[in-house]
Structure 1
Amino acid sequence: MNAGTSEAAAPGSAAGGVRRAGAAPDGVSRTGLPGQADAGSDRVSDGVRRTGAVVAGALGAIGVLHAVWMRTPWPLGSPAEFADTVVGVGVERLPTPAMCAEVAVALGAASYLVGARAGVLPAVGPRLLRTAGAGAVSGVLLARGVGGLLLFGPAGPGRRIARTERFLRLDRRYYSPLCLALGTGAALVAARGA
């Protein structure tokens, strides 16, 4: 720039500031697309955030339902109906309130780990813990989904875990597919979250 001229230097130019080699202007990634995060960035895409919000919300809601089940078979009418529909066993084999509490706490923790990794909940602690935690949540949900489809069945040869017909029908139609969907969403968040 000549002395006496009033030209302003462009941001990032040699006169206006230093830009590291290969860096893109503010608001543009190295891919050239505005708003798209670069690899290794802490930014989370909208799709990952939405997926994380849905998975974390569903896990939280299911956790609350397990906490309710410590006291009542709601929304079902009786413990026998609850045992048949939700657990697939006779009423004498229903989980204890303490077991329901343990599952509720685990689902709450799972909800937090996925939500924090997705950037929809405040992140506390090391990133590695959130990443590993969301990955573990994914693994457990995928194992439950596949395991439900392969292992649950009517009493008899070839099935390891006997369940009632009503539970089996609901598990094939709703419970296992829900676990597979939530597990897949948690895997996406674990892989691409912040």
Structure 2
Amino acid sequence: MTGRLTGAVPDDPEIRRLLDPYRLPDGRPLPLFEALAHSRAALDDLRRATAACLGAPALDARTREIAVLRVCARAGAETEWAVHVRMFAAEAGLGEAEIQATAAPRDAFPWPARDALVIRLADEIHDDSTVSDALWAALSQACTAQEIVELLLVVTQYHKVACLTNALGLRRPAGTPRMPRPAHGAARDID
């Protein structure tokens, strides 16, 4: 494991079993899951929340992954951004330009209207920990109530994930893509 925690994950068959579904294609455990395996309560919380986000029935993979990538980019959480690009971007149908645009200023890419709302939602939650009335009205026109709730679940959960990834100092796994840095500053400054 790479990051601020020292010491190996407990050599416990139950922990190994719990980590099995959370691995990169080459078999390495996902960095955040491996780090949180030091606390069974934290690992269980992450597993439940991840299942809820990835299984959100009203959201298609594209919408979910645009939200996740944008949240991670805004928070400067390259490790989680890279994991999601590696594991989910192709399934979500995201092209290279769209992937790169998740870390660019909001107006730097011609997002379709619904995707632009997802980007804006991730930005508002990141910046203000809430949703403006104007964005709520726009979301209400473009999404069902279930989609809005599930988007909020994804954005807030991955905001937490980004904070944990950064606080733990987790490094981007070898073989995963680098998150682009906007020309005008760090990923945390994009808008």
Q: TM-score, normalised by structure 2?
A: 0.30
Structure with max Cα Rg: 1
Query: Greater relative contact order: 1 or 2 (C-alpha under 8 angstroms, separation 6 or more)?
Result: 2
Q: TM-score, normalised by structure 1?
A: 0.30
